[in-house]
Amino acid sequence: MRLYLIVSASPSLCPGDNPQATHLPRAWAPLARPPPHGSRLTADLFSTNPGALKSPVSEQTTTPEDQRSPEDPLTPPPPAASLTPEPHNPGTPPDLFESVAEGPVVVQGGSPKLSSVPLDLPAGGNGGEGKQQDTSEPPVPPSSILPPMGAPLTPPVVPITPTATPSLTPNITPAAPTPVTPVAVARSSPEQAEGDGGDEFIQITVSDPQKIGDGMSSYMAYKVTTKTNVSYFRKKHWSVMRRFSDFLGLHRKLVEKHLHSGRVIPPAPEKSAIGTTKIKLGSDKNADSGSLDFIERRRAALERYMNRTSTHPTLRADPDFREFVELDAELPRATQTSALSSAGVLRLLNRVGETVNKMTFKMDESDQWFEERTQQIESLDAQLRKLHASMERLVNYRRELALSTAAFAKATAVLSSVEEHSSLSRALHQLSESTERTQTIHHAQADADFYVLSENTKDYIQLISAVKDVFHERVKTFQTWQHAQITLAKKREAKAKAELAGRMDKVQQAQEEVTEWEGKVERSQEEFERISRAIKKEMEQFDVMRVKDFRDMVIKYLEDLMTSQQQIIKVWETFIPEAKAIS
């Protein structure tokens, strides 16, 4: 029962789409990718209780069917497991982290089953919250949580399975296709994941954009270099190549896993059909400044994205994330990120549904804190957008200034060559060179305006959207709770009616239903409270980070501006004697 309870308690496990469903909707979990995982558990699960987990059931996500039948949580998810990717054995928690299996392998059909169960969720918390399990007792691993993760569990890791009681479902067998090379990533114990080590340092740079392939099937690949002293990574310093859709795929997975726990997931850079097509179709030789600009923008955005994600301790420990930065081979194509895939379409539909939901449902906000924060977020959003618009204007004007200064420099050079008077001619020539130099300075400043100020502000606007999403998750949870309460009332009524009518058989059934719904109400209430707490904590951290980032950004910008001015000073200082020398 327990298991069941837990499982159903988190509808959100499903990748997002079903906010309310009481049962897991794994159903549409995008097939290709490993089940969206129960993110929450990821880190937690494994940490700490390796032992507890012995249960063979690996965490695969329970298939919907499983969920429905609380009775046997343990039954290994139907062989449907073909999934295979799951194989990891729950037994080895550490391994689990790894893999986020390449998606394709996993899940096919359906539910990546995770037999979660036994995992004991150490409430560890990643993200410190461990809230996930408020209710879970150690013994019952929040398997529920597992399910979502299912996929992520490294398929490759499979070999690890050994620890787990093999008896478990075969799914565990790595057999799974895991395309991923069995990276033996030595996963350090998950415990470390939890620690929000104060001294942890991780820095990611994205560099060397390269075009791989040709024509429409080509893509841009970037080198992701990570420097870290965090223990659960294998090395201190290494690089991997990743393509753009990999980044998007990572973001999707993180959202699926963590959003409903109340975490703010840094948004990934957007897709741009035009820019990408231009690059795909253009040859290397013709890379004009427009597409170079686009590539540079994207590279910078990806770098900021990676760094923001890695500063978040929970996300950093997430297996998907870790695999992303560490796996030395190509990641399976994140086909769900493509707009036209079935998953993409589903996502779109869901998004539409959610928007309607947002607009129609007015939540009865009892918590003062949330009310204030929501308002503040809204006005921050509006104001940042305005600010961003004026920043863009500044960038444009400065670029124009650089261009017109360059034109002037050329005209002055011409003038100087025509001028007969020799010292005036020299002076004019000098003027032309000075202007040329100021032009370069202006141009560099415009770039600084752009990258430091404008793009960062844009990132913030997107982050605020992510925050709004998290708040909305909470609203959804509230809705679930309300819905459960209403249904409970109805069931109670039905039971009373049956009692009155004296239909004992019906009464029995009604009783069962009442109990069932009582449980649901309880769970959804817990869920609501949990997410509220999580959000509060998350927001605190977010605020701190945001303030710091903002200050850093402004300070850097002012420093750049000051350097520009100092350079201009030098230029004019060299010019003056020349001007004075005109005889």
576 binds other proteins (CB under 8 A): yes
The residue length of the chain stands at 583
The site map against other proteins for 470-509 (x = CB under 8 A) is ----------------------------------------
Q: Which of 229, 404, 508, 515 binds other proteins (CB under 8 A)?
A: 404
d(CA 180, CA 326): 12
401 binds other proteins (CB under 8 A): yes
Count other Cβ atoms within 10 Å, centred on residue 431: 19
Q: Which of 411, 489, 496, 501 binds other proteins (CB under 8 A)?
A: 411
The site map against other proteins for 414-453 (x = CB under 8 A) is xx--xxxx--x--xx--x----------------------
CB 58 to other proteins: min, Å: 45
d(CA 153, CA 96): 4
Q: Which of helix, strand or coil describes residue 350?
A: helix
Q: Which residues pair with 61 in a beta bridge?
A: 113
Is residue 209 within a helix (H) or strand (E), and if so which, with residue range? strand 202-212
CB 371 to other proteins: min, Å: 16
d(CA 502, CA 258): 48
Query: Which residue, 348 or 581, is less far from other proteins as judged by CB?
Result: 581
Q: Which residue has the tokens 């002037």?
A: 408
Q: Which residue has the tokens 């009775």?
A: 71
Residue type, 320: D
d(CA 533, CA 529): 6
Stretch that binds other proteins, among 181-189, 196-204, 266-274, 385-393 (CB under 8 A): 385-393
CB 444 to other proteins: min, Å: 14
Which DSSP string corresponds to 142-196?
GGGTHHHHTTTS-STTGGGGGGS-TTS-GGGSTTS---S------PPPHHHHH--
CB 32 to other proteins: min, Å: 42
d(CA 334, CA 243): 10
580 binds other proteins (CB under 8 A): yes
Stretch that binds other proteins, among 89-97, 276-284, 314-322, 393-401 (CB under 8 A): 393-401
8 Å CB contact between 257 and 37: yes
CB 374 to other proteins: min, Å: 13
Q: Which of helix, strand or coil describes residue 205?
A: strand
CB 359 to other proteins: min, Å: 24
Say how many residues touch other proteins, by CB under 8 A: 54
Query: Which residue, 212 or 555, is less far from other proteins as judged by CB?
Result: 555
The site map against other proteins for 511-550 (x = CB under 8 A) is --------------------------------x---x--x
8 Å CB contact between 460 and 370: no
Is residue 211 within a helix (H) or strand (E), and if so which, with residue range? strand 202-212
Secondary structure letter of residue 450 according to DSSP: I
CB 431 to other proteins: min, Å: 7
Query: Which residue, 146 or 453, is less far from other proteins as judged by CB?
Result: 453
The number of CA neighbours under 13 Å toward the Cβ of 240 is: 19
Q: Which of 201, 361, 369, 397 binds other proteins (CB under 8 A)?
A: 397
386 binds other proteins (CB under 8 A): yes
List C-alpha distances in Å: 87 to 4, 61, 393: 22, 11, 54
Residues 363-382 interacting with other proteins (rule: CB under 8 A)? 376, 379-380
Q: Which residue has the tokens 């993760």?
A: 149
Which DSSP string corresponds to 453-493?
IIHHHHHHHHHHHHHHHHHHHHHHHHHHHHHHHHHHHHHHH
Query: Which residue, 184 or 561, is less far from other proteins as judged by CB?
Result: 561
Query: Which residue, 271 or 421, is less far from other proteins as judged by CB?
Result: 421
Query: Which residue, 99 or 432, is less far from other proteins as judged by CB?
Result: 432
Structure tokens at 327: 């796996």
Buried b (16+ CB within 10 A) or exposed e, 529-559: ebbbebbebbbebbeebbeebeeebeeebee
User: Three-state SS across 242-305?
Assistant: EEHHHHHHHHHHHHHHHHHHCCCCCCCCCCCHHHHHHHHHCCCCCCCHHHHHHHHHHHHHHHHH
Stretch that binds other proteins, among 24-32, 57-65, 198-206, 398-406 (CB under 8 A): 398-406
CB 201 to other proteins: min, Å: 22
184 binds other proteins (CB under 8 A): no
Stretch that binds other proteins, among 82-90, 262-270, 349-357, 396-404 (CB under 8 A): 396-404
CB 547 to other proteins: min, Å: 5
Q: Which of 184, 346, 384, 494 binds other proteins (CB under 8 A)?
A: 384
CB 419 to other proteins: min, Å: 7
579 binds other proteins (CB under 8 A): yes
Q: Which residue has the tokens 């997107």?
A: 462
Binding site for other proteins (CB under 8 A): 376, 379-380, 383-384, 386-387, 390-391, 393-394, 397-398, 400-401, 403-405, 407-408, 410-412, 414-415, 418-421, 424, 427-428, 431, 543, 547, 550-551, 554-555, 558-559, 561-562, 565-566, 568-569, 572-573, 575-576, 579-580, 582
